[in-house]
Amino acid sequence: MEHNGVDVERVAAVVRRIAPVAALLVLVAAVLLGDAAGARAVSRAAPELFRTEATLVDAAPSSGPDENALLPQARVPAIWLGPDGTSHLGSLSVDAGTPAGRTVPIWIDAAGEPVSPPTTGAADAVVVGVVAALLGWALIAAALVVTAVAAARQRARRIAEEWAAAEPLWSGRSSRTEPPGEQR
């Protein structure tokens, strides 16, 4: 049989061999992309927020307003320095039972007012990482399916061609001529 074109069965075998390695590379790339997306989210969320230390002026009561809370909190006066070095006095939420004079980390804005901590970027990191991994794995799966289907078609075509050549001889419907003197 004459060989024309690409041997798709060999291509499919190569794709099957490299698919596991490609899947691991996709996983590594997804983690790196997710990490970069998380870092980008943090820098977008907190371009002008500052971390500083506040010193508690009074001790926090031993029990907060909600004693059933997992981590009871209480509001107490505290003092801290703003980004420009000026002193600020305000009320902060701290763990119940925190003694006076203890320093606690807080986030402040450009005016020196306490704000919520910036986002960690975890949500962005997870979404980007998962989407990247799923897209990469979908491409690998598509390559496996496409090459397997093409190889099966090529194999079926080759078998049909071989059978078309062999079937007349095998079934006795051959148009071959009998040698003289040998009649059935």
The string of pLDDT tens digits covering residues 119-137 is 778 889 999 999 999 999 9
pTM of the model as a whole: 0.56
- What is the mean pLDDT of the segment spanning 71-88? 90
Question: What is the model's pLDDT at position 104?
Answer: 93
Q: Count other Cβ atoms within 10 Å, centred on residue 169.
A: 11
Contact 75, 54 (CB under 8 A): no
Q: Are residues 157 and 70 in the same domain?
A: no
Q: How confident is the model at residue 24 (pLDDT cuts 50, 70, 90)?
A: very high
pLDDT band at 168 (very low <50, low <70, confident <90, very high): confident
Q: Is residue 183 part of a domain?
A: no
**What mean pLDDT value characterizes the chain?**
87
Last residue of a domain, one of 115, 132, 155: 115
**Cα 29 from chain centroid?**
8
pLDDT at 1 over 50: no
CA distance 133 to 113: 41
- In terms of domains, do 103 and 156 share one? no
22 and 71 both lie in a single domain: no
> What pLDDT shows up at residue 70?
66
Q: How far apart are CA 1 and CA 153, in angstroms?
A: 17
pLDDT at 35: 92
Q: Is pLDDT above 60 for 184?
A: no
> Are 102 and 76 contacting, i.e. CB atoms less than 8 angstroms apart?
no
User: Which pLDDT tens digit goes with each residue over 34-71?
Assistant: 999 988 887 787 778 888 999 999 998 876 555 565 66
Q: Determine the average pLDDT of the residues in 95-117.
A: 90
Report the pLDDT value the prediction gives residue 65, as an integer from 0 to 100: 57
28 or 177, greater pLDDT: 28
**One domain, residues 162 and 133:** yes
Residue 148 located in a structural domain? yes
Domain that holds residue 82: 48-115
The pLDDT score that the predictor gives to residue 167 is: 87
How many domains in the chain?
2
